[in-house]
Structure 1
Amino acid sequence: MKMISNKLAVSGPASPEFEGVPIPIGIPFGIYPLVQGRHGGVLVPTFAQSQDYGLGLEGLGYYKVMNDYWDVTARTNLYSYGGWSLNLNPRYQKRYRYTGNFNLTFQNTKALNRSYVDYGGTTPTTGDEFNVTKSFMLNWTHSQDSRSRPGTSFGANVNFGSTKYNQTVLNNPYLNYQNQLTSSISYSKDFKGKANIALTANHNQNNALHLVNINLPNLNGTVVTMFPFKKKEQIGQPKWYENIGIGYSGNLNNQFSFYDTAYSFKKMLDTIQWSAAHSIPITLSLPAMGPVTLAPSVSFQEHWFGQQIFRTWDDKEKKLDTSIHKGFYAARQVSFGMSASTRIFGTYGLGTTKIRHEVRPTVSVSYTPDMNSQNYYNVQVDTLGNKLRFSKFDGIPPGAFQEGAFGGLSFGIDNLLEMKVKDKKDTAATAFKKVKLLDGFGFSSSYNLLADSFALSPFSLYARSTLFNVINITSSATLDPYQINQYGYRINKFAWSKGSLGRITNGSVAISTQFKSKPRDGRSDSARTPVDPFMTPDEQQRQLQYARANPAEYTDFNIPWTLSLSYSFSFSKQLQTDTTGAYSYQTITSSNINFNGDFSLTPKWKVGATGYLNVTNGSLQQLSMFVTREMHCWQLAVNVNPIGIYRSFSITINPKSGILRDLRINRSRTFSNY
């Protein structure tokens, strides 16, 4: 090889070797640019084969440096059936000022129609031979360095595109099942710590329902609590009224929605909703009365709405109709309250083992006058003549105030349970270690002394714990203390009059844990894989998604084995009635298991898998498996996705160096699961 420093290197014939074994492929000569710094060039594609898309070249592109702050990457995928995709990825960065990137993708998917039948022209064909789908996706992230403009920030995380885009991306099961897209753009300014404003624009999109909701512009403003009676120069103990604080918070919201399958600008304008909310809290800090802390409060809230919703029963069609009246409407609410809280400790001894129990009860007394009953009305909801009560502002952000006066108690108890045991690793007589049994468990509810019915609110029950500092458990449930009638509706009679505490209407349990062996070299994860400080959160998320879709290429051989498990279960009871008036409560459940793990067969061979199991219907929704081989400077990676919208496998051999990562041998095939 001949080398010219900082210019060029030229070599004769060359071929790769794996573990000293030559491979019968090579090049007759080589020309290697040795240009310093960033420079553009062609991006080498990989070969792919899909049962639905045909043969393809993926990742063919070009990288261009625009200037010291901008660069652009353009890539394309080409398939033999006629499908293609184009991706443009401009990135920009100015150190100590801002950083961001755009990611715009156009897809023209042309997939084989499995139901197509050709009868040789004697009879019509069944459908078209190919299914053609056009889609796009726009991603934009922008983050501002906090040092560039202290007190002012601007950020963006935009993800907007066609609802069918995610389903047509090959070899990415995590993206195929992602049905929610969200975006946010925000600007905020702080006024010397006394007040701040935030202007935001948000978007959420349900790909399954094809529903798009956009909120813009939204304006939020807050004024930090002020103490108007406090003296500038304090002498002695302050008077009680000097601790009176007054604050303010308000927001203005605008929202409109549309279905992307039947988009119409006029229909979108008809869905526009605007509203505003104002809140003025008044607080007073009182000195502690022994173990009890008191906190009085006064609050005034006002909501502005741009429309009202009225529901009426149609006797002819036997259904509930909805009409919207637009205009300017307002609703107000005032509340007065006093809360008290304390902490109670107890210890139980069992030999050298001590159990510590901490109880944190809270009680508050509040009064809210009735200022919103005129906004409520009764409406028949079924053919049996049953009626429900609605507000004119139900379903309109920020929501309707409750009707009726409230004067009563809100109460709750939170508990902490932990244990002290003798530390076996320390021989000292006073050596103990703490073990948490329950991080928290308790309940909360309220009782309205002024209500003529249903004075007691449902109980919120919860518990959370971390067993052995490894297993995280959280659970919650709602207990309704009232009975139901022959039609399944609540009646004003307590359930415990019949020997029952009440009805559990919904609940959930989540359990997660993670195990992994110690690293062979003894270094921490952060020391081995430092985070790029100039990578935006969105770029980190994209890199994580790629690593999940191609786990064999990002295997850490320094960790002999890892295992992550999570389980979630939730249920709710929904009332079901028929035309005869008979009722039943149907329990809707959802249960799933997520798993992810790998282990080393030998110091240089590793296998692993990750997946999602829907326990409710007993189906494995997603599974990815990999086998990888560490070959010093090279790495062999085999990824297999046998379940999902697209089933695929790939075999890749590439250098581990990031500079030479595109010098790979790739073989992949994809099969549609439709």
Structure 2
Amino acid sequence: MHTNNFKILFALSFTVFINTFSFAQDIKKQQDSIKPVVKETTLIKADTLIDPVISEKSQDSTLTDSIKPKKEILENIVVYSATDYTKFSNKKQKLYLYNEAKIDYGDMNITAGSIVIDYTKNTVYAKGIVDTTGAYNQKPVFTQGNNIVEPDSIIFNTESKKALIYNSKTEQGEGTVVATITKKENDSVYFLKNAKYTTAENLEDPEYYIKLRKAKIVPGKKIVTGLANLFIYDVPTPLGLPFGFFPQTETHTSGIIIPTFGEQNDRGYFLQNGGYYFAISDYIDLAVLGDYYTNGSYGLRLESTYNKRYRYRGNLGFRYENLITSERGFPDYAKNTIYNLRWSHSQDSKANPSSRFSASVNLGSSTYYRSSLNQINTGAFLNNTLASSVSYSKTFQGEPQVNFSLTATHSQNTSTEQINMTLPTFQGSVGRVFPFASKTGTKKGIIQNVNLQYNVRGENRIQTTDSLFFKKEMFDDAKAGFQHNIPLSTNFKLFKYFSLTASSNYNEVWTFKTVDKTFDPVAREVVTETVNGFDSFRTYNFSTSLGTTIYGLFNFEKEGKDAKIKAIRHIMRPSISYNINPSFDKYYDTFEIVSADGLTTEDVDFTRFEESIFGVPNRNFSSSMGISLSNNIEAKVRDRDSTATEPKKITILNNLNFSTAYNFAGDSLQWSPVRMNGSTQLFKDKLSINFGATLDPYALDNNNNKIDKFNIDNGGSLFRLTSASLNASWSLSSKKGDKNKDKDRGIDENLRSGGRADDLFGVSEDFANQQINRDKDNEDDVPSELYNYKVPWSLRIAYAVNYSNNRRQNQISSHSIMFSGDIQLSDKWSIGGSSGYDLKDAGFTFTQLRFERDLLSWRMNFSWVPFSTRSSWNFFIGIKSSILQDLKYEQRRQPDIQL
């Protein structure tokens, strides 16, 4: 009887114990493990109860018992153990487990220094033990799946199912609740007294916490508190609330986005970036944000991100601002509306290998980035071009392979406010076909290498302005057409070392608008009439090229000497080509211009295909030869690594190219200018250099016009330098100096806005959004306890100079240097900046200075634009955790933008 009572009582108490603590996740404290003393361990297993055998005679198939059978007390095998001892007192009706006490039941696990079950008082008590040094070890730990609870001690009643938990640390969402006393009311409600809520990592000495005098916790749902205020290093602050509500959930949910308060000189006080976040589903969300200024200006932002694994991902954003300057009735009163639409979509390569859809859209008002008041656009206000592309492509496998694509493009110049669009562009092609090649083996000879393919391209082009964008007038002057192209080519080896390529190209253009020109003798002007209807023209040409590759090797190695430079290899690829383009005079017409006296006439030639989007037929016969030479220079040097067995290869010149042409059919100026360009990378690819120049062999007359006379015959040099350019970019950093997550997010924002892929023009100042999930980015950064004398840093320098001398102006047309950098003064302090200097006009370009301080659970940012029309500053301090991201302070002075 004692054995049965014991098993039943133990099972009941254990079940209550499990139900009591399956409510939240605690952060397990890291502590040194104590090796157990090897002693005899008592192991008791309680088998599941066996159903009683029921006699078949006593069963009545016509009767059904309305009372459901009771659930088995034990559904799994119970295993409990302790290192020192496990005993049961019949007198006190208590079960004792001591030193590394452990109970396993299914996926439940309880470990503690001491566990006592009192059957007379219906209580279970778990606590740690004190070792020989007086330290309190082996605190109770309850584990169920991923849920962990680790208090100092636990006591609860098995009848009332209420419990008291002392000094518990429980993880609730992104934060942790540290409570002196926790009362469990039932399985889903807990009451706390004098608790602390913090997102700090150091729970023993948190740098901040919100003190909860009284609180109610519903695990996984909410925390409701009474009077609560903010403490910073145990120092109370006046920041508090008479009551508070902290939503707790493991999934993303909808909620209010707290706005930023500030003042703008021209528009008064404002609320900015406030709104509501909609957690639509696991695949898509939506943030609706708004700005309001007391002078009547307002703004609206819609931001949505979507993602479906192995299918697609993207983001969509729309921004609209209605900006008012001054007050109605004043002479400087102005009102302007600006907008911007951005959409980025990419398809996973695994979704469909034969078709692909992608989008990169950035369109809107030309003045949007210059006029916007939102600091998120700081790094993009210098953009002078907006571009968009939406495309779909499909491939049909087979022999030959067929491809087609549909693309809509958009290009917008923000300075001239001119917009060019193609709605849409259709492209189709049939793969290359070798009609004379054998079905097996390689293709050899001029005949077997003959190949052809078919390409078609159709466009509907629209050219409009910013004022007519998205209005019906923008379609009035739309131009459409198709271009068919069939290239026929072959290639073969000549004299073993030369490669000869010959090709012919057939081109046919369809258009739906042509023109007819006549001269009006009364108005004395040329009249151009548009003729709607289908028309076409056909052209063809022939070209051939001969090229080879020459290798030169200069060996510096000598026997018995370990030279630093082993060898230099020079690769030259000379090429000569010939092109012939017939004249297609049949597509040209003539009209007469009669003078005022009616006696003199002038014949003017024109082609009715002047409005064709794919050009006009060639009227002038051309026969030209092209000459080009490309160079590549590399070197093998001794590797500094003494363990290396092979020399190290470095690049001296990536490429150095020369090209020119000679027109046999021309009557003058037959030689084209010599164009030179090249690039190289130095210092382990840190320094990138690109250069180019144009050399003209012909001279200029006294009016600076080109004449048909060589410059050397006119008393000058062989070539006349007409233009030159040099661009260099240098990126330097220490080993850890280029790891800046916030700056990377700002650069991503620049790219989405059509800006640079670096911070030379500054980065976004949207500090409030950058704090989200920032703490997760630095999980692997373990600070060293030793002083680190190496300060992480990074530096980027861009230099550009352009020279013009086309008409003897002999001037530097542009000359500037841009630079940006970051320095991490300590583990917590970092500064950075972006600026530039115009060496021609002697003035600084856009300058942005950045300061950042990591305050553990907090972060502080300060951005300053000291001068220019964008002069402004922005200060921010706030908590990193997204759940408390609205606990922040932000103050800024916005630029005074006059519309």
Q: TM-score range by the shorter chain?
A: 0.7 to 0.9
Match of 2:824 in 1: 600
Change beyond 3 A, Cα 1:393–1:601: farther
The answer as to 2:852 corresponding to 1:652 is: no
- 1:478-557 equivalences in 2 (<5 Å): 478-498=694-714, 499-519=716-736, 538=752, 548-550=763-765
Match of 1:37 in 2: 251
- In 2: Cα distance, 1:205 partner to 1:451 partner: 38
- In 2: Cα distance, 1:612 partner to 1:277 partner: 46
- In 2: Cα distance, 1:339 partner to 1:600 partner: 56
Match of 2:30 in 1: none
The aligned amino acid for 2:331 is: G
Matched residue of 1:241: which SS? Answer: helix
| Structure of higher CA gyration radius | 2
- In 1: Cα distance, 2:394 partner to 2:343 partner: 22
Match of 1:119 in 2: none
Conserved 8 A contact 2:342-2:752: no
Matched residue of 2:825: which SS? Answer: strand
Conserved 8 A contact 1:598-1:609: yes
- Which of 621, 632, 657 is equivalent to 1:442? 657
Match of 2:864 in 1: 640
- Which of 335, 341, 345 is equivalent to 1:142? 345
Conserved 8 A contact 1:309-1:322: no
Match of 1:566 in 2: 798
Match of 2:261 in 1: 47
The aligned amino acid for 1:277 is: Q
Gaps of 5+ in 2: 1-194, 196-215, 558-562, 594-603, 782-790
The aligned amino acid for 2:713 is: S
Match of 1:198 in 2: 405
- In 1: Cα distance, 2:464 partner to 2:364 partner: 14
Matched residue of 2:285: which SS? Answer: strand
- Shift in Å, 1:623: 1.3
More strand by share: 1
The aligned amino acid for 2:355 is: T
- Shift in Å, 1:139: 2.3
The answer as to 2:280 corresponding to 1:280 is: no
| CA deviation string 1:642-662 (max 9, x = no partner) | 234432212111122344333
Match of 1:79 in 2: 293
Change beyond 3 A, Cα 1:477–1:34: same
Change beyond 3 A, Cα 1:207–1:538: closer
Match of 1:207 in 2: 414
- In 1: Cα distance, 2:304 partner to 2:646 partner: 59
Change beyond 3 A, Cα 1:291–1:15: farther
The answer as to 2:579 corresponding to 1:363 is: no
The aligned amino acid for 1:144 is: Q
The answer to which of 535-544 and 322-331 deviates more is 535-544
Change beyond 3 A, Cα 1:610–1:569: same
- Shift in Å, 1:265: 5.9
The aligned amino acid for 2:314 is: G
Match of 1:160 in 2: 363
- Shift in Å, 1:448: 2.4
Change beyond 3 A, Cα 1:350–1:38: same
Matched residue of 2:866: which SS? Answer: strand
Match of 2:378 in 1: 173
| CA deviation string 1:606-640 (max 9, x = no partner) | 21111344444333331111111111111111111
- Shift in Å, 1:249: 1.6
Conserved 8 A contact 1:308-1:326: yes
- 1:111-510 equivalences in 2 (<5 Å): 111-112=325-326, 127-128=331-332, 130-170=333-373, 171=375, 172-192=377-397, 194-232=401-439, 234=440, 240-261=446-467, 268-287=474-493, 289-307=495-513, 323=528, 325-327=530-532, 328=534, 330-350=536-556, 352=563, 353=565, 354-371=567-584, 375=588, 397-400=613-616, 402-426=618-642, 431-468=646-683, 469-498=685-714, 499-510=716-727
Percent identity of equivalent pairs: 29
Conserved 8 A contact 1:412-1:442: yes
The aligned amino acid for 2:500 is: L
- In 2: Cα distance, 1:405 partner to 1:360 partner: 30
- In 1: Cα distance, 2:521 partner to 2:725 partner: 40
| CA deviation string 1:338-380 (max 9, x = no partner) | 3222221223345622332221111223333233596599999
- Shift in Å, 1:86: 1.3
| CA deviation string 1:145-176 (max 9, x = no partner) | 33333312222222232233222212333332
The answer as to 2:309 corresponding to 1:104 is: no
TM-score by length of 2: 0.64
- In 1: Cα distance, 2:423 partner to 2:286 partner: 30
Matched residue of 2:380: which SS? Answer: helix
Change beyond 3 A, Cα 1:310–1:610: farther
Match of 2:157 in 1: none
- In 2: Cα distance, 1:34 partner to 1:593 partner: 51
TM-score by length of 1: 0.83
- Which of 814, 838, 849 is equivalent to 1:625? 849
Conserved 8 A contact 2:378-2:763: no
CA-atom RMSD in angstroms: 4.1
- In 1: Cα distance, 2:707 partner to 2:757 partner: 55
The answer to which of 36-45 and 138-147 deviates more is 138-147
- Shift in Å, 1:40: 0.6
Conserved 8 A contact 2:347-2:356: yes
- Which of 652, 665, 669 is equivalent to 2:889? 665
Conserved 8 A contact 1:173-1:622: no
